Amino acid sequence: MIKVGIVGAGGYAGVTLIQLLLRHPEVQIVWLMSEEAHRGKKISELYPHLSGELELACQTLDELEKIVNQVELVFLALPHGIAINYVPKIIEAGKKVIDLGADYRFSDNMVFKKWYGLEHTTEKYLQQAVFGLPELYRAEIKKTRLVANPGCYPTASILGAAPLVKKGLIGLPSLLVDAKSGVSGAGRGANLKTIYCERNEGIEAYAVNNHRHMGEIEFQLSRVAGQPFNVTFVPHLTPMTRGILATIYGKLKKPVSAEQLTALYKEFYQGEPFVKILEGRTPNTKFVDGTNYINIAVEVNETTGTVIVMSVIDNLIKGAAGQAVQNMNLMSGLPETSGLRQIALYP
Amino acid sequence: MIKVGIVGAGGYAGVTLIQLLLRHPEVQIVWLMSEEAHRGKKISELYPHLSGELELACQTLDELEKIVNQVELVFLALPHGIAINYVPKIIEAGKKVIDLGADYRFSDNMVFKKWYGLEHTTEKYLQQAVFGLPELYRAEIKKTRLVANPGCYPTASILGAAPLVKKGLIGLPSLLVDAKSGVSGAGRGANLKTIYCERNEGIEAYAVNNHRHMGEIEFQLSRVAGQPFNVTFVPHLTPMTRGILATIYGKLKKPVSAEQLTALYKEFYQGEPFVKILEGRTPNTKFVDGTNYINIAVEVNETTGTVIVMSVIDNLIKGAAGQAVQNMNLMSGLPETSGLRQIALYP
Amino acid sequence: MIKVGIVGAGGYAGVTLIQLLLRHPEVQIVWLMSEEAHRGKKISELYPHLSGELELACQTLDELEKIVNQVELVFLALPHGIAINYVPKIIEAGKKVIDLGADYRFSDNMVFKKWYGLEHTTEKYLQQAVFGLPELYRAEIKKTRLVANPGCYPTASILGAAPLVKKGLIGLPSLLVDAKSGVSGAGRGANLKTIYCERNEGIEAYAVNNHRHMGEIEFQLSRVAGQPFNVTFVPHLTPMTRGILATIYGKLKKPVSAEQLTALYKEFYQGEPFVKILEGRTPNTKFVDGTNYINIAVEVNETTGTVIVMSVIDNLIKGAAGQAVQNMNLMSGLPETSGLRQIALYP
Amino acid sequence: MIKVGIVGAGGYAGVTLIQLLLRHPEVQIVWLMSEEAHRGKKISELYPHLSGELELACQTLDELEKIVNQVELVFLALPHGIAINYVPKIIEAGKKVIDLGADYRFSDNMVFKKWYGLEHTTEKYLQQAVFGLPELYRAEIKKTRLVANPGCYPTASILGAAPLVKKGLIGLPSLLVDAKSGVSGAGRGANLKTIYCERNEGIEAYAVNNHRHMGEIEFQLSRVAGQPFNVTFVPHLTPMTRGILATIYGKLKKPVSAEQLTALYKEFYQGEPFVKILEGRTPNTKFVDGTNYINIAVEVNETTGTVIVMSVIDNLIKGAAGQAVQNMNLMSGLPETSGLRQIALYP
């Protein structure tokens, strides 16, 4: 049994981690941390459905140093800029970290500063961090002590675009990502933007051209492409709780059919336990609800020479907690799919 | 490994059975049957999210006799009146049956006829059938070959009311059940009543005084009470996919406090693996989404002498497929919770 | 043209008032007030859909005395306990007031104190206030300067129950109201209870036995009954933006058929411009979305001797702003339906 | 008073027409037609919320010739291929027609045949028809007897793109339309694709590259551009009842700022009663719910040289029935906004 601690347990990524890990055959949750207002509260006070499942009370980050030794691995699900202060301590205590926040997703401090307005004081760890997308960096993940778990939009976008970008099939800078997200991506914090009556029965774009995940997508696709790579990224808040659909567009350098591209995607992701390439139908976010799967389909508009990739994930699972568990499995020598074999809860 | 077949695999109860059984450690799905229009279609054509999970094609009921010997147990998820024709054949072939439909829920043929307008031609099996509510009939379920799996409204209503009725705490005929159901209770069939635009953003009562589940609730509570027991039952279609909340009202014969009743409920359901009695908060259907749990809370209006019980289930799991798996576990000597340890997918 | 001011314009009742009054042929909105944080903001900054429709900026209550003379009538949509401080000033300035809050709904100070924990310092006005339910108090409304606009649950409940109570058809204290409300009833304030992911796909009871509207229903039905009248009231938060369905139950003193009761309701509400008695079908909240209508249907369970009334309104219109406009029309000698002839926006 | 008849009254476009026209000060609905199954049924049997508002019974198309003389103008809301058979008769009887279907949207028979697989037998009328987008063809609409009312996606897409295309600001064929529609666009017919449980909590693309509205958008934008113009069009089914958001992307031929483009849009649509150009915020479909407005905002990604236009309408109003009423007003010499002054029902 691997003993783990969860920091940020009170948020939606945190509770999803708990839900997954409570049924993971090889993991024991030893402690939970949440914000000051939750100090001493049982997690089942915050989430009544956990009553009888996990009776831990929430601690706070000031206790980290005291209790970090009780675990082998720490999950951090924090707003950006906070993990920076704690990751070094955890690593130096000889533990592993999976950071679900943004602090270690850019190996280039300047890019991090551009998008997040913060300076990395401990650049050493920035260099050590592995971007936790197993489909692209499995070998590195297995060997690292520090994983920067990808954001939800980047997971759907990068995995959806990677085969095209890697093979150099699309022109620069033609890549467009029109992404549709459920409201849970905004977290559990109460604000006018997330209340039911403002979101229900309405869809809107937001953070056009300046969503921080755009920086993450560009940075990571530049690595895949081997050259600087800009994208146009427009996220949309969609009236549903879970799920992301990224509809990705690119101009093909030369004519390729949808069938050829589908074959290419199948080959690219061959053997991947959580990637399904659909044929003859478009993916619906419902197909992956509650699962760690990503479903992808590819179409081509031959008249305009445009490739259209549709990529769906559950934003809280493959886009956050599920991928974190997948990374934990890899870092810990467990079967990659351990604890992650859920089938969608359909309908 | 127990080999099973599923009849009615194309409906929502059927697909939920598949979703549960694919992750059940002791079960193998050997064949599927669905309606004529699905003959020969792979289940993943009907439900794309099952692609790669189960590649069986649908057969039809005319093949039942030929293939019933391949399995030990058959799940039937059929409209009422059809199972009657097949249950005898399955039993006579030496197999077990769990009928998720209504045909064997009334041990009294006259009551069945009253509510369903049909005559049981094989009354012998009607007598043998056990009503599959493990919290009330566990011992009988373990010994039978034929389980009549309860309806969704009856599961929430009977388990919510049973302690009060059993202990004779409420006057006759004061029991009222105001039930709120998600739309999936109406099945996958397309009709004007279930289309998105007619259901979204609206709630309405339906089948007031004549919903067939009212007959089932009355029949079963009469057994619990040991005397004829009438209820007022008003179901409501609620704009959500899953879940039932039964708000149950009764006039208390003498003053009892909410605390006393909560203690009574806790004792009544002590040791039950899927019953949670909540204290200090009301149950939300979200708490049990995707799980086999029932959550119950009890309140009292002391001024009017009214007890108020709130009972929530996932209509497709504890209200259908999950309870069927629980019954299968009991009939087969497996741990009762095997394959049913899901935690709610929250949010 | 009647000149009006709206206090509490930033909330959902306030914006609904604006939406109705902007198309009212006889009304001009002269000023708006909202909370301190909105001071100086144009209403279209708070509600972008009003851009180009109304370009007023929000003022705050400290300016009331200065500008009250610019209008003939003031709408107050405030949290309870605040209107008390301003109503006397408005009346003494010779203006009319419609208070959409709770402060003047109880002509008995003790009852107000019991439910709201506050003392009325100006009991004189409490006595003058008319409860603004035109179907019961039209004559008084026409003559008053101060209307206490009913709450949303009370509107649906009282109008649904009044014919039964008035005619003495049901036993005491058998009246039960199981009410289902859309989330907009909770207002525009952001808190954990109202965020999308906590409300979507889930229904739950809340404030069982202690919702303040229970006091209002009891107080007003006691007036209708001519004797103290207690009810059991259980509100439920339902995953939809708008609408209330009150399902009302009572024990009939003697057998009466649904047809007889339907005829009684039709007679009771004959000539009422906003009451529709449905026959042969149950009311859906969708039928009244965006309108000032209340739809009511009556059924009887003859076995248990229970009457079942289903009553639906749009909580923000007939349950708040629409009823306020109806009251304004009456107080101002305008046609009662002026500005209120909307048909439901269906689907 | 203008007397009108509505063919296809049983569908969502039809009922929306009824809702609008019942409050139109200059219009009287004289008769309704619907499908064979509705013959003789009162419209309030199909739509209970119309009870007491309109008590007409549905007739069927075989009665058209008999009753066409009772009206001055006929609205047709029919599946494609049917209007072709009736438009000539109505015109030849000296009446006006507004066809909400697709049959007269292409002045080129070959293009119509390509997308709809049908031959126009009466090409004469095809030439006479005016495409009913008042913002582009107001003068022609005023003079015609036959208006082809635009589709919902084309309305949002063409008005969103027209200023860019007209001014030649974007390269060919770079225009992409990623459109998100509510479910009501699929009509009131019951099928698996539109039932609540299949649509709720999920978003998916559909009809990629072959939605018929793509043909309409290309055809009409070619007219605007003065040269053949291809687009990439991907519609998405979104879990909401009403509303379309078209997010439109194009490669700018030369650098232009968002501010410059916003100014251009404001000028292009100056004086238009139903077009609002938003600044400093993105449009939400909620802002136009229940209204004939279109809201548009423009952004630019300067790094990739991409213009992003967001355009929202209520698909049943500006995208269908409201635009039809706007066209009727123009054809009849009424004020263009008559009967169309609704403000969004928010929230």
Are residues B123 and B111 in contact, defined by beta-carbon separation less than 8 angstroms?
A: no
Note whether B298 and B232 are within 8 A (CB). no
- Per-residue pLDDT at C305 exceeds 80: yes
Helix (H, G, I), strand (E, B) or coil at B240: coil
Residue with tokens 């999936």: B184
Question: Which residues on chain D are in Cβ contact (under 8 Å) with A245?
Answer: 203-205, 236
Predicted local confidence at residue B172, as pLDDT = 84
Residue in C with minimal Cα distance to D316: C347
Q: Which residue of C has its CA nearest to A47?
A: C198
For chain D, percent of residues with pLDDT exceeding 90: 93
C235-242 mean pLDDT: 98
- Among A230, A299, A300, beta carbon nearest to D303: A230
- Tell me how far apart the alpha carbons of residues D260 and A202 are, in angstroms, rounded to a whole number: 28
Q: Which residue is catalytic, options C4, C73, C83, C152?
A: C152
- Residue C53: half-sphere exposure toward Cβ, Cα within 13 Å: 25
- Contact: C180, B176; criterion CB under 8 Å: no
Whether B137 contacts chain A with CB within 8 A: no
Name residues 225-284 of chain A within 8 A of D (Cβ). 230-232, 234, 236, 238-243, 245, 247, 249, 251, 282-284
The catalytically annotated residue of B73, B74, B148, B152 is B152
pLDDT tier at C189 (50, 70, 90 boundaries)? Answer: confident
D323 touches chain C (CB under 8 A): no
Residue D317, helix vs strand vs coil: helix
**Position C13: which residue type?**
A
Written as six digits, the tokens of A156 are 């759907």
- Is there a contact between C344 and D241 if contact means CB atoms under 8 Å apart? no
Pairing of strands B96-99, B73-76: parallel
Residue B121 has pLDDT above 90, yes or no: no
Taking contacts as CB-CB distances below 8 angstroms, the residues of chain B near D240 are 200
For chain C, say whether B222 makes contact (Cβ under 8 Å).
no
pLDDT at position C195, please? 95
Which residues in chain A have Cβ-Cβ distances shorter than 8 Å to B346? Answer: 15, 19, 47, 49
pLDDT confidence bin for B120, thresholds 50/70/90: confident
pLDDT tens for the 347 residues of chain A, in order: 999 999 999 999 999 999 999 999 999 999 999 999 999 999 999 999 999 999 999 999 999 999 999 999 999 999 999 999 999 999 999 999 999 999 999 988 888 899 988 888 778 888 899 999 999 999 999 999 999 999 999 999 999 999 999 999 999 889 999 999 999 999 998 899 999 999 999 999 999 999 999 999 999 999 999 999 999 999 999 999 999 999 999 999 999 999 999 999 999 999 999 999 999 999 999 999 999 999 999 999 999 999 999 999 999 999 999 999 999 999 999 999 999 999 999 99
Quote the pLDDT of residue C293.
98
Mutation for B interface: D34, D38, D184, D195, most B CBs within 10 A: D195
**pLDDT at res. D79:** 94
Q: Do B196 and D201 touch (CB under 8 A)?
A: no
* Residues of chain A with C-beta less than 8 angstroms from the C-beta of C241: 196-197, 200-201
On whether any CB of chain A is under 8 Å from the CB of B286, the answer is yes
Cβ contacts of C289 on chain D, cutoff 8 Å: 345
Query: Is residue B152 annotated as part of the catalytic site, yes or no?
Result: yes
Q: How far apart are CA C321 and CA D22, in angstroms?
A: 23
Q: How distant is the Cα of D239 from the closest Cα of chain B, in angstroms?
A: 9
> A120: helix, coil or strand?
coil
* Residues of chain A neighbouring D209 (CB-CB closer than 8 A): 299-301, 308
Distance (Å, whole) CA D15 – CA C345: 10
Q: Which of D211, D301, D308 to mutate to test the interface with A (most CBs of A within 10 A)?
A: D301
Question: Which residue is closest to C284 within chain B, CA to CA?
Answer: B204
C198: which chain A residues are within 8 Å (Cβ-Cβ)?
188
- Tell me how many residue pairs between chain A and chain B have CB atoms under 8 A apart: 69
A140: which residues sit within 8 A by CB, 6+ positions away? A130
Contact state of A190 with C195 under an 8 Å Cβ cutoff: yes
Determine contact: C15 vs chain A, CB below 8 A. no
Tokens for D1, please give them.
């008073």
> Smallest CA–CA separation between D216 and chain B, in Å?
26
CB A231 within 8 A of CB A176: yes
- Chains touching B (3+ CB pairs < 8 Å): A, C, D
Instruction: Write out chain C residues lying below 8 Å of D344, CB-based.
Output: 19, 49
Touching check for D7 and chain C: CB below 8 Å?
A: no
Q: State the pLDDT at residue B268.
A: 98
Query: pLDDT tens across D88-141, in order?
Result: 999 999 999 999 999 999 988 888 899 988 888 778 888 899 999 999 999 999
* Separation of alpha carbons B15 and A347, rounded Å: 9
CB contact (8 A) between residue D196 and residue B194: yes
End-to-end, the C-alpha distance of chain C in Å comes to 34
Domains of chain B plus CATH, in order, are: 2-128 (3.40.50.720), 152-315 (3.30.360.10)
Interface test with D, best of A157, A196, A201, A210 (most D CBs within 10 A): A201
D197 and B191: CB-CB below 8 Å?
no
Q: For position D121, what pLDDT does the model report? A: 75
**Confidence (pLDDT) at B97:** 98
- Amino acid A232: pLDDT: 97
ipTM of this complex prediction, to 2 decimal places: 0.97
* Contact with chain C for residue A347, Cβ under 8 A: no
Q: Which residue of D has its CA nearest to B194?
A: D195
Catalytic one of A126, A133, A152, A312: A152
Residues B237, B206: contact at Cβ < 8 Å?
A: yes
Is the CB of C194 less than 8 angstroms away from the CB of A192? no
CA–CA distance, B172 with D169 (Å, rounded to integer) = 78
* Active site amino acids of D: 152
The whole-model pTM stands at: 0.97
Q: Which CB contacts under 8 angstroms, 24+ apart, belong to A115-120?
A: A115/A212, A115/A215, A115/A216, A116/A80, A116/A81, A116/A212, A118/A80, A118/A81, A118/A84, A120/A84
User: Residue D196 — very low, low, confident or very high, per pLDDT cuts 50/70/90?
Assistant: very high
Cβ-defined contact of D192 to B195 (cutoff 8 Å): no
Contact between C232 and B241 using a beta-carbon 8 Å cutoff: no
How much is the mean pLDDT over chain C? Answer: 96
Other beta carbons within 10 Å of A128: 15
C29 in contact with chain D, both atoms CB, cutoff 8 A: no
Strand ranges for chain D from DSSP E? 2-7, 27-33, 58-59, 73-76, 96-99, 130-131, 146-148, 176-181, 204-205, 232-237, 244-251, 275-277, 294-301, 306-313
What residues does B74 pair with on adjacent strands?
B5, B97
The interface residues of chain D toward chain C in range 149-188, judged by CB-CB distance below 8 A, are 184, 188
CB-nearest partner of C346 from D15, D281, D342: D15
Record: contact A188-C201, CB cut-off 8 A: no
Of A130, A132, A102, A107, nearest in space to A117 by CA: A102
Handedness of CA A72, A77, A78, A79 (dihedral sign): positive
Helix (H) or strand (E) holding B120: none
Instruction: Determine the residue among C35, C41, C195, C346 to mutate to test chain A binding: the one whose Cβ has the most chain A Cβ atoms within 10 Å.
Output: C195
